[in-house]
Amino acid sequence: MNQLSSEEKMTTQDINTEKEASHISRRSFLGMLGKGAACAGAAVGAGGALASAGGGAANALGGVGPTYQQEPEQYAEARKNPPKIPGYNWTEHKWAFGVDSNRCIGCLRCVEACKMENSVQMDRNHTRTWVERYVYLEGSDHAHVDSIHDLKNVMPGSKETRFVFDNRYKNAKVTKAFFVPKLCNQCEKPSCVQVCPTGATYKTPDGPVLIDTKYCIGCQYCVQACPYGARSLNHVRGTAEKCNWCYHRITKGLNPACVEVCPTGTRIFGDRMDPESPISQFLRNNRVNVLKPDMGNMPNVFYAGIDKEVI
Amino acid sequence: MSSSADVFYHVAPVIGNGFTYPNETEVPWSELIVIYPYITGLVAGAFVVSSLHHVFGMERFAPISKFALLTSLCFMFFAPTPLLFHLGQPTRALNAVITPHWTSAMAAFGYVAGFYICLLLLEVWFSFRADIVGLSKSTTGVMQKVYKTLTLGSDDVSASALHADHTIARRLAMIGIPGACGLHGYVGFLFGSLKTREWWSSDLMPIIFLLSAVGSGVGLLIVIYVVACWWRKQTPDNGAMQGLLYVLWSGIVIVMVIEALEMVQMIYKAREGVEGVFDLINGPIHVGLFFQWGGGLLALLITSIMMLKTPKGSRLVFWLFVCGLSMMISVLAMRWNVVIGGQELSKTMRGLLTFHPEVFGRESLFTVASLFTAPFVVLYLAQKLLPTVWAGEELEPEERVFDIHKAI
C-alpha cells in the first residue's frame, strides 16, 4: 500500500491516542490498522485548513454554479493550495459510487475491511459503512430491517469486531429479502459541510467530503445534520468520523477497501470523467436511485435494485 | 474507547419492526446540550425583566431591575460552559471563532455570546458605577482597591455624570432587548434549521425557545428573589411581585399556545413517519412531557387565579414562588424533550432510542448540576460585591448623589 508522508500530518495527540486505541485491533488485524490510520489521517489532513468547494466553475455533472454549500473564499483557497499528493490533481476526477443491491449477499466483508483499513472504532455502534437486511414476511406490507448494530448479528466471541447476519428467519415464510449496503453519500450539497462551524469538514472538487481531524472541534453538529446516519464521533480522536471512499487509496488509483473486498461486485466505484470507468458504465446501464432525494442533498452514491422500504 | 452501549441502548421495535441506523445508537448531544439552551433562556428572561424598568420605565420593577440584570450577567458567564464540556476537542473551541465557517449556524455562537457578555458587562458597569464609586470611598484596605479598580478611574458622581450613566445604560438595554431575543431565537434556530430531525425541524422552534426562555427566566427571578428576601429577612416588594405575576402569566399563555400549535401542526400535517412522533410522545419522553405540560398548566392555572383574585402579601409571594418554580421545571423538561427527544426519534423515522444519562463523568448529570450551581454561587458573590443591588433605583439621580456623599 502506498502511503503519503503520513505521521507528520497527524497531531501528537492523534498519534498517541491512535496507538492506544489500535492496540487490540493491531494485534487482531496483523498491523494493518496502524497503516490504515496513518494513511487516512494523512490523506484527510492533506487538505489542511482549506475547505474546498465548487464556486462558479462548471461541475463535472454538467451543472454550472455553486453546488457545494461552501463559501467562494474557501473554493479559491482550495484551488490555490491543493493537497500535496504526488501525481494527483483533484480537478481531473469526479468520483462516484454505485451499489447494485441485487448482487449483495450480506457477507459483511465490506464492513470489516473498512474498519481495518480506516481504524474505525471496533464496536457495533460506530461504523463508516454497514449493510441493512430487508425481509418481507408473508402477509406483511412492511419490511423487517436489521443491521450490524443488532447484537444478534455480532459474531459470538468477536468482541464486536466481526459481524454475520443471524439466521432468525429460518422458520419464517419470507416472501422477499434483500441487502442494502450503506455508506457516506458524499453529497453534492452536504448538510454536514453546511453546518460545520469551523470548516473542518469540506467538499473536495473530486467528490468526497473530507474531515480535517486536526481542525475538527468535535461538536457533532455534522452528526446531527447528516440525513443518512453516516457520521459518528470517534471517541479516540474526539472528532467526527465518516467514510471518505478511502481517499488515501483512490488518489493512488486504488479502489476503496470495501469495493476491493466485495466478492460479488455489489459495490462499484470509479471516475465519472472517464466514460469507460465501472461507475460510468453502471450508471449508463442501470436505472438508479439515490437515498432520501427529498432532503435535497444530491447524493453521489447511486443504487440499483432498491425497494420503497429502503430508508 | 468508551463503550457507548453501556450508556445507551437500542430499543428499536416500536413501529412493528423498528430500525435505526447503527451510528445513531449513540446519542450525539447529551444532557449538557439540554442545559445550554436552558441557561441562555434564563439569561434572556432575566434580562427582559430588567429592561422593563430600564427601557420602558415600569417603576414597579425598580426594586428588582438591577438584581435581574446582575442575574442575567452571572448566568451568561456560564452559558457557553456546557458546550465546552461537550466538545470532543475542547481546546480547539476557538477554531469556530478564529475561522468561522459562515454557512454554519453554530459558527456565530462565539460572536453572539461574546457580544452579549460584553453588552451585559457594560450595562452592569454603567448601572452600578455610582455605587462602585461610593463603595470605593466608604471601604478600606483591599476592598477599597478592588472598588477603585472597578471604577476604571471614573469617579465623577455629579448629577450630569449620573444622568449620562443612566442614559447610556438605557441605550445599552435597548440594544440588549433585540440582543436577548436574537441570542435565544438563535439557539432555537440551531435546532429548528436541521431538516434531518422531524422533532426539531420546525419554523416555530426559534419563537418557542424565545418565549419559553421568558417564562423560565421570570420564574428564576421570582424564585431567587423570594429566597433572597427570606434569607435577608425582608419582605418581597409587592409591586414587583405583582409585575412579575403579569409577565409570567403573559409568558405562560403565549408559550403554551405556540407549543400546542406546533404539536397540532405536526400531527395534522401527518408527514411520513408521523407514527414515529406518536411513539416518541407515548414512549421515551412521556414523563418529560408530563412535567413540561403539567408544570406549565399548573403555573397557568395558579397565575390565572391570582390574576383574578389579586392576592397580596405572603399569599402572593408563596403562590408566585410555586408558579415560578413549576415554570422553571416545565421549561427544563421542555428542553430535555426537545434536545434528547429529538435524538431518540431515529432519522429512519422507524425506530426509537432511549437515552440513559451518565451520573458521573465529563458529560454527566454531575457536570450538569455543577455547571448549573455555578451561576448561583457567582450571583451570591456578585451581590456581596455590589450590595446596592438590593437598594433598587427608586432614587432620582440627584438624591443618589446626596446618598453617596452621605456614605462617604
Residue A79: per-residue pLDDT? 66
Q: What is the pLDDT along chain A (311 residues), one digit of tens a residue?
A: 333 333 333 333 344 444 444 443 433 333 333 333 333 333 333 333 333 333 334 443 344 444 455 566 766 776 677 667 778 899 999 999 999 999 999 999 999 999 999 988 888 999 999 999 999 999 988 899 999 998 899 999 988 889 999 999 999 999 999 999 999 999 999 999 999 999 999 999 999 999 999 999 999 999 999 999 999 999 988 999 999 999 999 999 999 999 999 999 999 999 999 999 999 999 999 999 999 999 999 999 999 999 998 98
Instruction: Verify whether the Cβ–Cβ distance A217 to B89 is below 8 Å.
Output: yes
Q: Which CATH topology does B10-407 take? A: Formate dehydrogenase/DMSO reductase fold (1.20.1630)
Pairing of strands A267-271, A95-100: antiparallel
Cross-chain residue pair B106–A219, CB shorter than 8 Å = yes
- Taking a C-beta distance cutoff of 8 angstroms, is the pair A240, A230 a contact? no
The predicted structure's pLDDT at residue B202: 87
Q: Is B17 on the interface with A (CB under 8 A)?
A: yes
Inter-chain CB proximity B194 and A21 less than 8 Å: no
Query: Which residues of chain B does A200 touch, with a Cβ-Cβ cutoff of 8 Å?
Result: 95
Cβ-contact A32, A40 below 8 angstroms: no
Residue A225, chain B, CB below 8 Å: the answer is yes
The larger pLDDT score, comparing residue B274 to residue B244, is at B244
Q: Do A235 and B88 touch (CB under 8 A)?
A: yes
Q: What is the 3-state secondary structure (H, E, C) of A40-98?
A: HHHHHHCCCCCCCCCCCCECCCCCECCCCCCCHHHHHHHHHCCCCCCCCCCCCCCEEEE
Q: Which grid coordinates belong to A160?
A: 464486536
Contact A31/A39 with Cβ under 8 angstroms?
no
Exposure string of A22-42, with b = 16+ CB inside 10 Å and e = fewer, is beebbebbeebbbbbbbbbbb
Spatial neighbors of B287 by CB under 8 A, at least 6 apart, are none
Answer whether A146 sits within 8 Å of B19, measured CB to CB. Answer: yes
Residue B235 is given by DSSP the state P
Does residue B295 or residue A71 have the better pLDDT?
A: B295
Chain B touched by A71 (CB under 8 Å): yes
Question: Which one of B1, B105, B348 has the shortest CB-CB distance to A195?
Answer: B105
Does A239 sit within 8 Å of B88, measured CB to CB?
Answer: yes
**Residue B22 contacts residue A127 (beta carbons within 8 Å):** yes
> Quick count: other Cβ atoms within 10 Å of Cβ B266?
17
CB contact under 8 Å between A217 and B95, yes or no, is: yes
ipTM of the complex: 0.89
Which residues in chain B (340-369) have CB-CB distances under 8 A to chain A? 343, 347-350
Q: How far is A250 from chain B (nearest CA, A)?
A: 25
Q: At B313, is the pLDDT very low, low, confident or very high (cuts 50, 70, 90)?
A: confident
B194 close to B106: Cβ distance less than 8 angstroms: no
CB < 8 Å to A51, chain B: 101
pLDDT > 60? residue B408: no
Q: Which residues fall within 8 angstroms of residue B400, CB to CB, at 6 or more apart? A: B130, B162
| Residue B192 contacts residue B202 (beta carbons within 8 Å) | yes
A contact test, residue of B6, B14, B20, B23 with most A CBs within 10 A: B23
Chain A residues within an 8 Å CB radius of B84 = none
CA atoms within 13 A on the CB side of A131: 27
Rounded-to-integer distance, Cα B258 and Cα A57, Å: 45
Asked if the model's pLDDT at residue B334 lies above 90, the reply is: yes
Angstroms from A227 CA to nearest CA on chain B: 5
Q: Is A270 helix (H, G, I), strand (E, B) or coil?
A: strand
Give chain A positions within 8 Å (CB) of B197.
224
Q: Are B93 and A198 in contact (CB under 8 A)?
A: no
Q: Which of chain B's residues have a Cβ under 8 Å away from the Cβ of A197?
A: 95-96, 100-101, 104, 106-107, 109
Mean pLDDT throughout B370-377? 96
Task: Return d(Cα A155, Cα A152) in angstroms, integer.
Answer: 8
What is d(CA A224, CA A231) in angstroms, rounded to the nearest whole number?
A: 8
Give me the residue label for grid cell 429577612.
B233
Q: How far apart are CA A28 and CA A20, in angstroms?
A: 14
Give the whole-angstrom CA distance, residue B254 versus residue B70.
Answer: 26
- Which chain A residues touch B93 with a CB distance below 8 Å? 217
Residue B328: CB partners within 8 Å, gap ≥ 6?
B216, B219, B220, B223
- The reply to whether residue A215 touches residue B93, judged by beta carbons under 8 angstroms, is no
Answer whether residue B320 shows pLDDT above 70.
yes
Contacts of B32 (CB under 8 A, 6+ apart): B82, B83, B85, B86, B363, B367, B368, B371
| Contact criterion met (CB below 8 Å) for B324 and B314 | no
Q: Is residue B225 within 8 Å of residue B248, measured between CB atoms?
A: no
Q: Is residue B261 a contact partner of residue B268, using CB atoms and an 8 Å limit?
A: no
Which cell numbers hold the place of A117? 483499513
Lowest mean pLDDT among A23-32, B36-45, B360-369: A23-32
For an interface test with B, give the residue of A67, A187, A219, A236 to mutate (most B CBs within 10 A). Answer: A219
Q: Rounded distance, CA B135 to CA A221, Å?
A: 47
The residues that bridge with B353 in the sheet, in sequence order, are B10
Helix (H) / strand (E) element for A133: namely strand A129-137
Strands B9-10 and B353-354: antiparallel
What does the alpha-carbon distance between residue A232 and residue A52 come to, in Å, rounded to a whole number? 22
Structural contact between residues B70 and B376, judged by C-beta atoms closer than 8 angstroms: no
Strand order in the sheet with A95-100: A267-271, A95-100, A301-304
Provide mean pLDDT across the span B340-363.
Answer: 90
The minimum CA-CA distance between B349 and chain A, rounded to whole Å, is: 9
Phi, psi of B212 (to 5 degrees): -65, -30
Phi and psi angles of residue A250, each rounded to the nearest 5 degrees, phi first: -70, -25
Q: How far apart are CA B319 and CA B309, in angstroms?
A: 12
